[in-house]
Amino acid sequence: MGFEAQAIKCPKCEDIVYSRHRHDLRWCSCNSCYIDGGFDYTRVGFIMAIDPKDIKSITLQFDIPKEDLYNDYKSGANKHGIIKGKPETLDEALTLMGVYQHLIKKES
């Protein structure tokens, strides 16, 4: 059931962003960089103020079905696709821990 997906880490806000479907272009929360392509291809973009060498590539290991990510994208629920780098409150941090407990990050 497990699978891997490519993600990026924004050097500015430290969000980890991944695309759930080929048409799911995902920006980080500070709108400095994005990833697109889902599991079909990987396209990364960024604003001029960001040095592309500072954007880290990360492989995420999932233990949920790909269909869950696709359904999250299609329904607009948006429980997946971004892992906030800097939660603003303790409640937000605890919520993120629960929502993303199915991921294992591997920085490359």
Would you state the structure tokens that stand for residue 18, as one six-digit string? 């991944």
49-86: pLDDT as tens digits: 888 899 999 988 888 888 888 888 889 888 888 888 77
Give me the sign of the Cα torsion angle 93, 33, 47, 56. Answer: positive
3-55: pLDDT as tens digits: 888 999 999 999 999 999 999 999 999 999 999 999 899 999 999 888 889 99
- Which pLDDT band holds residue 108 (cuts at 50, 70, 90)? very low
Which residue shows structure tokens 């500070």?
Answer: 30
Q: Of 47, 35, 7, 39, which is closest to residue 22 (Cα–Cα)?
A: 39
Going from N- to C-terminal start, the domains of the chain cover 3-107
CA distance 104 to 44: 21
CA distance 35 to 8: 7
